[in-house]
Amino acid sequence: MRALPSFLEINDDLAAAWCHTPWAATDMSYDGDAYHGVFDVDLASDVSDRAPYRPVLHGSILAQIVSYHTLASMLYAYTNDHVPALATLPKVALPEARKRIVVTSLKLSLRREVAQTRVPVRLTIDRVTDKWDSHRMAFAVLSVDVAGGLQTAELEGCFNFRDRIER
């Protein structure tokens, strides 16, 4: 029986492969319904002479955090068989699995300003469609809640196994 990676182990693996950012995931958990994360954000790094206003979490940083949390959550769901449609996909190592997850659309809703440096994120997998027989892919629809609903995101993505990896 293979040892399943923890959410924190997946985060460590992903963080090692990610570029330097003004934020870092510091806590990751799964409660059976949603994938939770806490991100420490260096909002002060975004202040300059050209932008001396109060630092807030803006769209580009939000998109980075949402993309990162989505990738970490989908890797955790895939490796731990949380979703039946993902459990049937071929099992590959984490570096290979990272390459196979593709975010195909991202819609951000910047409802209210977030000025906190510890930002909670909650992701739910709304739907997964298994298209293995026709496309060798699985498609997912996801929802992300940032800072208790102050900002939200809707995503669509896929696991792409179109290069002859068999189940």
**Residues 7-160, CATH architecture:** Roll (3.10)
Q: Is 39 exposed, middle or buried (0-12, 13-18, 19+ CB in 10 A)?
A: buried
Res 1: pLDDT: 47
Res 62: pLDDT: 87
102: which 2 tokens? 């593709």
Domain boundaries, the chain: 7-160
Confidence of residue 145 (pLDDT cuts 50, 70, 90): very high
For residues 130-139, give the mean pLDDT. Answer: 90
For residues 79-104, give the mean pLDDT. Answer: 90
For residues 79-92, give the mean pLDDT. Answer: 90
Tens digit of each residue's pLDDT (9 = 90 or more) over 108-121: 988 888 888 899 99
Of the chain, the percentage scoring pLDDT greater than 90 comes to 50
The residues near 7 (Cβ < 8 Å, ≥ 6 apart) are 28, 29, 30, 35, 72, 76
Please say whether the beta carbons of 128 and 85 come within 8 A: yes
pTM of full prediction above 0.85: yes
DSSP state of 42: -
Closest listed residue to residue 63, CA positions, set 103, 9, 12: 103
Tens digit of each residue's pLDDT (9 = 90 or more) over 25-54: 999 999 999 999 999 988 777 666 666 665
Res 22: pLDDT: 85
* Ranges 104-118, 119-133, 141-155: which has the least confidence: 104-118
Closest listed residue to residue 119, CA positions, set 86, 82, 150, 79: 150
